């Protein structure tokens, strides 16, 4: 168990309700298991297996095999210790004489502390349960003597262990990000634990259950282990990290490769990389001869250019054997250049030329790697028959400009109809894997509270009806708490597309916030179902104001630290959202608009490490307005954000722009700091100003811990002979041990 779970005492009634939430999400029938039956009603024979009683171990944890088996056994031991306070013996057992086909590892709980063995008959029983099931299927077979946890493929033993822990009352709400302050999970506490007889086999609805890092503003080497940990606990199987997002060298696979390979490897998770940009491997600056048509894509019709691209990708993958899927995506542009379209007719046809060639070469040279293409923007519709995609290629369908007022297949939602038609066309023409790339958490939503739960459920049903093979969405640790339930729901539907989303929400609310807070939290989720792209600022502001009131009402109904912490964060998010809406409601070019932008900027910076908002490019544009824009691929802004999340603390100044009159009165500036890793820090700051600008005091010390930031007020003035124009005032921040933090700049507008 990588991260210390939160331990609480749960009443029996609460335990039953909470078990229904996450066990149900994984497709297990929690109540039936307690009664000793399977999900289909067949009786599981035997009495309960005693795990611990009276402060003593009554069972042993056994394991065998590769993949996740060893890690799964350690997880089971450590969580059972967290529940009971007792550390069970952990032992490896010899390889079985005849493991069922497809089983690469297993874990078992065996009565007694002297070890034990797993009988051939029990293994044969597991083989019968798993016969004909897809990869990742798992089975739990237990009686008073032995409880076997195994399945098909490397991940299955770990999935089985987490399913058993859910039966014991553990709840895996979120990754162990610092902003949760330990309240990412619920672990019940009991001195006496006995597990009932169980016979249950569970199968995934889809084979591609993914989580994307995408732009990666807040994904760091420290945040990736808890994220992959949560993925495994929620039955996801593939993590996608870009090779080099936008080719800027900011969010790049090799920067996190070691931690990804380690953490994914011990859980058996797949690693996928690539992403937008043939030019990441064949940059125009280095290979101008391959861009005679001008770009944005290389001259696909030039055999030398195509061979060069494919060769570089193959070399990259050969040196990184942990990668199992490569995303062969074109640059993120609206259209390909005319010479390419003249040659192939459509962008989808041209994309097929690249994808199919890469797939063919990899089939010969690296057969363990699959190629993925994206159906997106100008390539959203499938290619013509003569350019059909290789059937072994994965197609990721990305309905970028859809809306979320209704599900993708709803004919009443006009904006979605073309995408539904295109998706059906892909399913008709492509015999290989077809999966959804979804935007249930969008960068352009600026961390607004958006929870279109009915739409998500409708999408899952529509896509299951078409026989799709998976779903993925991207995330940012920086605003994970805002989208906690959305992430959990999507993961649950990826495993079981028939899941009742209403029941899932009900179980989540009872488990996360307690019975008394459920009515208020239901109102909150109903009020935040709106798509910000299709509703005006006035309607959104009203909804967010009412949502904040519902959260405050819920906060008055809870008594324990876990729901109080989450509700505190959600209230903060609602306040950021309301500040965002005040920008949209303010009259143009006036003091009210300037004040709204300043307030929004300050709130985003003060809360950027609290798990509820992200200072991404769209947020940056929002607080700067049209006169202070920066390009979307501004590497400096992106790197500063990434470095802030990677650091232990950070600082900024409010406001970001000071208007100074030469020889005039001093203007107030607040120097602030926040705790990024929630361990507490003393932050030292120093201001460096241009000639003629005076900052008093010019240095200071701030103490931060958790959500409690600190601020120091300073006075800034311009001398009578100061040069007019805009000039930077730089604030440098560092810790007592000399660790340098990201600097912040204030623009001094001297008049």
Strands 693-696 and 710-718: antiparallel
Query: Are the C-beta atoms of residues 72 and 101 closer than 8 Å to each other?
Result: no
What pLDDT does residue 279 have?
Answer: 92
User: Which pLDDT band holds residue 21 (cuts at 50, 70, 90)?
Assistant: very low
Helix, strand, coil shares of the chain, percent, nearest 5, are 40, 20, 40
Residues of the chain with pLDDT > 90, as a percent, come to 92
User: What structural domains and CATH numbers belong to the chain?
Assistant: 7-202 (3.30.379), 208-276+399-523 (no CATH), 647-751 (2.60.40.2030)
pLDDT tens digits, one per residue of 660-716: 999 999 999 999 999 999 999 999 999 999 999 999 999 999 999 999 999 999 999
What pLDDT does residue 45 have?
Answer: 65
What pLDDT does residue 11 have?
Answer: 30
Task: Cis check for the bond before 224: say yes or no (omega within 30 of 0).
Answer: no
What pLDDT does residue 16 have?
Answer: 22
pLDDT at 58 over 80: yes
User: Which two tokens mark 43?
Assistant: 């009786």
What pLDDT does residue 116 have?
Answer: 87
What pLDDT does residue 504 have?
Answer: 97
From CA 147, how far away is CA 127, in angstroms rounded?
A: 15
From CA 114, how far away is CA 119, in angstroms rounded?
A: 16
pLDDT tens digits, one per residue of 645-668: 999 999 999 999 999 999 999 999
From CA 613, how far away is CA 624, in angstroms rounded?
A: 17
User: Which pLDDT band holds residue 628 (cuts at 50, 70, 90)?
Assistant: confident
User: Which pLDDT band holds residue 626 (cuts at 50, 70, 90)?
Assistant: confident
pLDDT at 416 over 80: yes
What pLDDT does residue 20 have?
Answer: 24
From CA 184, how far away is CA 135, in angstroms rounded?
A: 28
What pLDDT does residue 30 have?
Answer: 31
User: Which pLDDT band holds residue 44 (cuts at 50, 70, 90)?
Assistant: low
Coil vs helix vs strand at 575 = helix
pLDDT at 43 over 50: no
**What average pLDDT does range 169-178 have in this prediction?**
98
pLDDT at 151 over 80: yes
pLDDT at 25 over 80: no
User: Which two tokens mark 68?
Assistant: 């996740």
**What average pLDDT does range 573-591 have in this prediction?**
96
Of residues 3 and 483, more confidence is placed in 483
**What average pLDDT does range 494-502 have in this prediction?**
97
pLDDT tens digits, one per residue of 391-414: 999 999 999 999 999 999 999 999
Instruction: Provide the mean pLDDT of the chain.
Output: 93
**What average pLDDT does range 571-584 have in this prediction?**
98
CA-CA-CA-CA torsion sign (441, 442, 446, 452): negative
The answer to whether the predicted template modeling score (pTM) of the entire model surpasses 0.75 is: yes
What pLDDT does residue 747 have?
Answer: 95
């Amino acid at each position: 168990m990588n991260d210390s779970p939160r331990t609480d005492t749960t009443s029996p009634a609460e335990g039953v309700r909470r078990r229904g939430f996450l066990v149900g999400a994984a497709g297990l029938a929690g109540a039936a298991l307690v009664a000793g039956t399977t999900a289909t009603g067949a009786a599981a024979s035997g009495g309960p297996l005693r795990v611990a009683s009276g402060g003593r171990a009554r069972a042993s944890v056994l394991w065998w095999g590769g993949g996740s088996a060893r890690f799964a056994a350690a997880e089971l031991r450590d969580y059972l210790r967290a529940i009971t306070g007792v550390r069970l013996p952990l032992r490896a057992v010899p390889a079985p004489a005849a493991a069922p086909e497809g089983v690469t590892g297993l874990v078992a709980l065996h009565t007694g502390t002297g070890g034990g063995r797993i009988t051939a008959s029990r293994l044969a029983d597991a083989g019968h349960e798993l016969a004909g099931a897809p990869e990742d299927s798992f089975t739990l077979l237990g009686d008073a003597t032995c409880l076997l946890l195994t399945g098909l493929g490397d991940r299955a033993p770990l999935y089985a262990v987490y399913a058993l822990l859910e039966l014991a009352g553990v709840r895996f709400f979120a990754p162990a990000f610092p902003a949760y302050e330990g309240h990412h999970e619920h672990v019940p506490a009991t001195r006496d634990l006995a597990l009932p007889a169980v016979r249950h086999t569970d199968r995934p609805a889809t084979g591609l259950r993914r989580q994307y890092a995408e732009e990666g503003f807040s994904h760091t080497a420290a945040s990736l282990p808890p994220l992959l940990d949560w993925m495994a606990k929620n039955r996801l199987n593939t993590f996608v990290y870009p090779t080099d997002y936008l080719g800027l060298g900011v969010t790049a696979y090799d920067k996190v490769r070691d931690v990804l390979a380690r953490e994914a490897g011990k859980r058996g998770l797949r690693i996928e990389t690539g992403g937008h940009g043939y030019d990441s491997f064949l940059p125009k600056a280095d290979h101008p001869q391959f861009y005679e048509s001008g770009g944005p894509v290389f001259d696909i019709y030039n055999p030398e250019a195509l061979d060069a691209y494919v060769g570089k990708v193959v070399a990259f993958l050969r040196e990184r054997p942990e990668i199992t899927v490569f995303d062969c995506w074109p640059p993120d542009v609206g259209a390909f250049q005319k010479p390419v379209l003249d040659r192939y007719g459509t962008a989808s046809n041209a994309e097929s030329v690249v994808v199919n060639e890469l797939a063919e070469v990899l089939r010969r040279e690296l057969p363990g790697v699959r190629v993925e293409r994206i159906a997106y923007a100008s390539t959203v519709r499938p290619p013509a028959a003569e350019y059909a995609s290789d059937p072994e290629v994965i197609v990721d369908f990305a309905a970028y400009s859809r809306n979320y007022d209704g599900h993708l297949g709803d004919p009443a939602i006009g904006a979605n109809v073309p995408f539904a038609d295109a998706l059906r066309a892909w399913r008709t023409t492509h015999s290989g894997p077809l999966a959804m790339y979804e935007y249930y958490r969008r960068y352009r939503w600026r961390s607004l509270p958006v929870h279109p739960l009915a739409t998500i459920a409708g999408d899952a049903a529509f896509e299951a009806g078409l026989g799709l093979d998976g779903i993925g969405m991207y995330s940012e640790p920086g605003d994970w708490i805002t989208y906690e339930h959305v992430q959990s729901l999507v993961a649950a539907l990826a495993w079981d597309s028939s899941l009742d989303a209403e029941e899932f929400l009900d179980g989540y609310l009872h488990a996360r916030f307690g019975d008394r807070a459920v009515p208020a939290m239901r109102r909150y989720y109903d009020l935040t179902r709106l798509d910000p792209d299709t509703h005006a600022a006035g309607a959104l502001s009203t909804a967010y104001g009412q949502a904040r009131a519902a959260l405050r009402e819920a906060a008055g109904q809870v008594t324990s630290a876990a729901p109080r912490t989450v509700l505190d964060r959600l209230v903060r998010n609602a306040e950021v959202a309301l500040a965002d809406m005040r920008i949209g409601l303010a009259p143009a070019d006036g003091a009210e608009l300037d004040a709204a932008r300043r307030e929004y900027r300050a709130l985003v910076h003060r809360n950027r490490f609290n798990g509820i908002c992200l200072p991404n490019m769209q947020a940056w544009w929002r607080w700067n307005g049209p006169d202070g824009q920066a390009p979307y691929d501004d590497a400096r802004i992106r790197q500063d954000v990434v470095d802030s999340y990677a650091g232990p603390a950070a600082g900024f100044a409010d406001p970001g722009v000071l208007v100074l009159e030469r020889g005039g009165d001093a203007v107030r500036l607040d120097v602030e700091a926040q705790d990024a890793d929630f361990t507490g820090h003393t932050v030292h700051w120093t201001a460096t100003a241009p000639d003629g600008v005076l900052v008093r005091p010019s240095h200071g010390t701030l103490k931060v811990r958790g959500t409690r930031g600190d601020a120091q007020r300073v006075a800034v003035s311009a001398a009578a002979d100061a040069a007019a124009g805009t000039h930077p005032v730089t604030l440098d921040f560092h810790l007592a041990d000399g660790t340098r933090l990201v600097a912040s700049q204030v623009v001094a507008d001297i008049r």
